[in-house]
Chain A
């Protein structure tokens, strides 16, 4: 099982998948990521998949699970860098990843996380001074 690094930058956690990972690594990542959210109180998670050229149904389900689990712990998730072939595979598998935010690259992903954060602060009447 390979350990996947999780990097914290500001309010966000960044996970970059640099190789095709196996199922146990994926499950390990899920746990590690949630622990990091608990430890750091991060409110955004960015998962970068540009080095991935193969996605199976397990991986697809894992991505949507991570999104929902993070949401339970008050963190938005954005998946970025999905290769065109991976996008086709996901849709062919019937995994539409509904409710999962996606962006073209890391830059757009960070911008989207920022937007989601402001939207949430606006609807929840939370202000920066409360934090």
Chain B
């Protein structure tokens, strides 16, 4: 993860927002979290979650969808 990747992700999230959707960045590992902060990249406006499960849970919550076991 470098500044180029980080800014690209930010741009992607901003573009997605223009299309009326919301981007959630998931799967951020501890090392990546450290790198992002050390690079000084501001992810304040982007929703981030540690795991994809948490990201999906967020998305489902927004859409009012619930996953249940049969």
CA distance A33 to B34 in the complex (A): 11
Report the minimal beta-carbon distance from B35 to chain A, rounded to whole angstroms.
Answer: 9
Contact B36 A72 (CB under 8 A): yes
Q: How many residues of A sit at the interface, in one of the four size bands?
A: 20 to 34
Contact of A74 among B34, B48, B61 (CB under 8 A): B48
Secondary structure at the B interface, as helix, strand, loop or mixed, is helix
Contact of B34 among A30, A41, A129 (CB under 8 A): A30
Q: Is B17 an interface residue (CB 8 A)?
A: no
Q: Knowing A37-B50, A38-B50, A41-B50 are in contact, say whether A73-B33 is a contact too (CB < 8 A).
A: yes
Q: Is A3 an interface residue (CB 8 A)?
A: no
Listed in ascending order, the chain B residues whose CB lies under 8 Å from chain A are: 28-30, 32-34, 36-38, 43, 47-51, 54, 57-58, 60-62, 64, 66
